[in-house]
Structure formats: C-alpha cells, structure tokens
Homo-oligomer: A and B are copies of this chain.
C-alpha cells in the first residue's frame, strides 16, 4: 500500500504543511509581540508613560490628513453637544 496521502478526500501532506507553516509563523509573531511588551515594560520601569508612547506611535503611523479628518468629525460632534465653543455655522453665515 502506498503511504497515505489522501484521507476523506483531502491531501493530507499538503494540509499538514500548510498548518505547520502557519503555526511556525504565528510562533514568530508571538515572540515579537513579547519583545514589544518587554520594551514597554522597560520604558515603564524608566518612568515613561506607556499609554502616551502608544499614542505617539499611533500618530506617527497615521499621516497628517487622517489625523485631521478624525479630529474634525470629533470636534464637530463636540460642538454640536456644547462641549466646545461654537464656530460660525453655515446657517449663520447665510443669515449675515
């Protein structure tokens, strides 16, 4: 009998290869995630505010336009809810 390569209609060897490759990559990914955690822990130990560092990194990843857009919508809502001083609205402009 030939070595089993198909079971239930699937190519066992190929499937096993796929699963193993992914598991290997996920291990590597997890290792790097652990490294990142270590750096944050070290930073914290040196008195840095890790939450702020995360924010900085996030801002650096976004391009300027994205930052602009997000803050615009948020500010619009805050103004609508009276959380920020109002700017001249379109309506008021027209009325003028």
Give A contacts to B, CB under 8 Å.
6-12, 14-16, 18-19, 21-23, 25-26, 28-29, 32-33, 35-36, 39-40, 42-43, 46, 48-49, 51-53, 55-57, 59-60, 63, 70, 73-74, 76-81, 83, 86-87, 89-91
Contacts and interface: CB of A to CB of B under 8 A. Distances in A.
Dominant secondary structure at the A interface: helix
Given A7-B79, A10-B80, 8 more contacts: A9-B76, A16-B81, A25-B35, A25-B36, A29-B33, A52-B74, A56-B78, A56-B81
Given A7-B79, A10-B80, A32-B25, A39 B18 contact: yes
Count of identical protomers in the assembly: 4
